[in-house]
Chains A and B, each alone.
Chain A
């Protein structure tokens, strides 16, 4: 009988590079920035790392295939090192690899590092993904915002929400994150943005305007994990442990069958139900101190509040406008500014979110520190809402 990951793995140290348009840094530089901070935080030497996982997504930029470039960049000689790719869930996937290795007892200390050098593309936004030779034959070559914009139609139709109310709510999502980003020294965007600017920005993919889209940045984040016993033996007093790690991937039901109405993301709900069970959470709205969710687009964050069972179905618009997820609200969401302010270097994002939860739990979040948080959730959504990957991790104090 599976017993889950809860409290079997603790975070020994974490690191996060400065995110942004890092014209000065290649992917190797970014990885080293996060890695050095994590090593110092963990208080170990690199030779103590037994195994490692790299998450990076795009092949048209970055360091190249396999884990060889990362192993070389980090000078981790001769250890098991794997590269993983699972679209926007890539960073969390790397953490999952490292955590499972420790939990299985195969290794004592493992490294998860995620990095993406998006600003080597030469343009804004993400490179067009490779959909596979078969899907290319029929699937529209639409952008990421076009995929997520479909949620707006579905949501409005299901709940009878007016175009104006929905736009105001998703604008509030972005407004709130920009407010929060001001206090994040490592964020790409650190300026508050007025609601009018957000609501009247040029359209990218209706109804998503420019400020409904996350930034595009370079960055890297890194976690070193071990068992609670080893962490204590290494002198750690306050331990942040992994309470849950769950993924859910589409099998084509939403895109092919007729029962999905376009108003929610099945994968997030699947992953959330399993993650809450694994972590022993029965009332997320009461129990979670904070969340870092996949706000690739503002509409995504809105439906995610319902998919994580933080808002009742059909009530996310009201909850958002009531400030439930603001920094001062009941369950702050993106207290560091989220993807909106950090941008979304694909491979790094999941670990960057974990870095924020970890920092908050340990009281290291500076000007944006929440009062006595005990448990936080990260959420990634790869692909598109109807054919994608949801990844959830829950981290908490032991």
Chain B
């Protein structure tokens, strides 16, 4: 039997960061105790990011050096997928220009969904792209508001170029209800943290670890890395100590990311894989109404894996912000007066959207075979020579190098993250189009600045609860 396992990884963390101290400062009039936990920074999603957009970005990172065409199934795990009925995987597959024959499966409902889904896909043994993505929404002034963040991790699974193979795994399922979020509710309801730490993490995970080690035929001494996400400082260390682990405890990504829900364990795995060496073994734990424990061994192939952004690249790419109210507004925690311009209908014509999906979902330009002109959008005939569109070759723009031709910072339009940066993006392949520019730092943007494309929410139709997605551009940082 040929080897099967993880063949690549990718990550995405929203670029926006806020110091926890800024959050605590805003609440100190009613919750001065938050100050004690206010260390470092957390990531938060911009108004136009969600579990879907982050999943696409993590998947693009994971697909570095390969193609979506190589995979048979797309698995997506999230507890914050924007729809109750409309799978995130379908939107993600469209953005990734997946072949029509791709199978897809969505999971959620648990902080453990990320590890459970990865395990399920590994057990299935067929080539797959597995993504875990979460943008948890937390109640203002809750401790979760400080400790949570957002992010997504993605893994390619297959039989060639396996960088990490599964040696053994075990799961425990238990109705230990540390928190819950009722269907349709915005926020989680949490029980006392000390109880979760002592009765939950400390008692649920060792069992799974023990079974997984037994299945792998290993002892705890054989494990190099111990990766366990937790909300509480010291919880992972306590479990590691309890199971007599003496190796490297993987850092919890508290600074620059924050607890990313069901994506957190997968993010930690992606982060370990950045530096792990052949033959090292990783114990990955997922916690939530029980626990998953997965044991991987890193292979020689990791040395040949093409360089990617990874978790460290995302952390380095942070853009510090300074306003708690901005974050609160992006999370719909406060209703601001946006003026009458914001009353404009955000309705999407689903018929038009479907008709144009071949070029809009994957941001695909056409190149006229008659005159060579690259053009987006693709209309009925060539903009230069009027030859019919049917003979265009398809040229995706999402990974094409581009820069700013003209731009402005628009303070007049309704935009949830003012000002709206927009202008002409000039692609090196000759395509040119008007685009939004997002995650622009305080220095603004200028002609000639390099841009990369990111998948974002184009329009939030709040009246109907529908997000329409499209591609935007963002400055390439030197980090």
Contact = CB atoms under 8 A, between A and B. Distances in A.
Contacts of B415: 141
Given A137-B360, A137-B468, A146-B422, A205 B408 contact: yes
Interface in B443-475: 444, 447, 458-459, 468, 470-471
Interface in B361-418: 373, 375-377, 379, 383-384, 405-415
A145 B410 CA distance: 8
A15 interface: no
B411 A137 contact: no
Given A137-B360, A262-B406, A143 B432 contact: no
Contacts of B430: 258
B241 interface: no
A133 to B, nearest CB: 4
A229 B292 CA distance: 94
Interface stretch (B202-210, B222-230, B317-325, B339-347): B339-347
Contacts of B341: 123, 125, 128
B353 interface: yes
A256 B412 contact: no
Nearest to B471: A138
A208 B432 CA distance: 24
Interface in A205-262: 205-208, 251-253, 255-258, 262
Contacts of A251: 383
Contact of A205 (B411, B432, B459, B468): B411
Contact of A134 (B356, B376, B406): B356
B407 A256 contact: no
Contact of A257 (B339, B384, B435, B447): B384
B383 A146 contact: no
A153 interface: yes
B420 interface: yes
Given A153-B407, A257-B375, A143 B412 contact: yes
A252 to B, nearest CB: 5
B349 A133 contact: yes
B161 interface: no
Instruction: Report, as a range, how many residues of chain A touch the other chain.
Output: 35 or more
Contacts of B444: 206
Nearest to A145: B412
Contacts of B406: 150-154, 262
Contacts of A1: none
Contact of B340 (A122, A141, A253): A122
Contact of B422 (A140, A144, A157, A386): A140
A251 B470 CA distance: 23
B211 interface: no
Most buried by A among B410, B420, B433: B410
B328 to A, nearest CB: 23
Given A138-B360, A256-B375, A153 B408 contact: yes
A143 B341 CA distance: 10
A146 B420 contact: yes
B411 A150 contact: no
A142 B420 contact: yes
Contacts of B420: 140-142, 146
B434 interface: yes
B433 A255 contact: yes
A324 interface: no
Contacts of A262: 405-406, 424
A143 B375 contact: no
A128 B432 contact: no
A206 B413 contact: no
A127 B426 CA distance: 29
B344 A206 contact: no
Given A149-B408, A256-B376, A257-B375, A128 B424 contact: no
B379 A121 contact: no
A255 B379 contact: no
B339 A123 contact: yes
Contacts of B405: 153-154, 262
A140 B435 CA distance: 6
A257 B382 CA distance: 10
Nearest to B349: A133
Given A257-B373, A258-B430, A206 B422 contact: no
Contacts of B376: 256
B436 A255 contact: no
B472 to A, nearest CB: 8
Contacts of B407: 150, 153
Nearest to A252: B383
A150 B408 contact: yes
B335 interface: no
A137 B349 CA distance: 9
Nearest to B420: A142
B72 interface: no
A128 B409 contact: no
A141 B418 CA distance: 12
A128 B410 contact: no
A123 to B, nearest CB: 5
B447 A153 contact: yes
A139 B375 contact: no
A320 B107 CA distance: 64
Given A133-B349, A137-B353, A251-B383, A257 B410 contact: no
A125 B360 CA distance: 30
A128 B411 contact: no
A137 B363 CA distance: 11
A146 B458 contact: no
B436 A140 contact: yes
Contacts of A140: 420, 422, 434-436
Contacts of A150: 406-408, 423-424
B456 to A, nearest CB: 12
Nearest to B386: A251
A323 to B, nearest CB: 28
Given A150-B423, A252-B383, A256-B432, A205 B409 contact: yes
Most buried by A among B348, B420, B422: B422
Most buried by A among B406, B458, B471: B406
Contacts of B423: 150, 153
Contacts of A133: 349, 352
Contact of B352 (A134, A139, A145, A255): A134
Given A133-B352, A140-B422, A258 B340 contact: no
A143 B344 CA distance: 13
A255 B434 contact: yes
A143 to B, nearest CB: 4
Nearest to A123: B340
Nearest to A251: B383
Nearest first, the 9 closest Cβ-Cβ pairs linking A and B are A146-B410, A149-B408, A153-B406, A143-B412, A133-B352, A150-B406, A143-B413, A140-B422, A133-B349
12 contacts: A128-B344, A137-B468, A138-B433, A138-B458, A138-B470, A152-B406, A153-B405, A208-B408, A253-B383, A256-B433, A257-B432, A262-B424
Interface of A: 121-123, 125, 128, 133-134, 136-146, 149-154, 157, 203-208, 251-253, 255-258, 262, 386
Given A125-B341, A151-B406, A256-B375, 17 more contacts: A128-B344, A138-B360, A140-B436, A146-B408, A146-B420, A153-B406, A153-B408, A153-B447, A203-B409, A205-B409, A205-B410, A205-B412, A206-B408, A252-B383, A256-B376, A256-B431, A262-B424
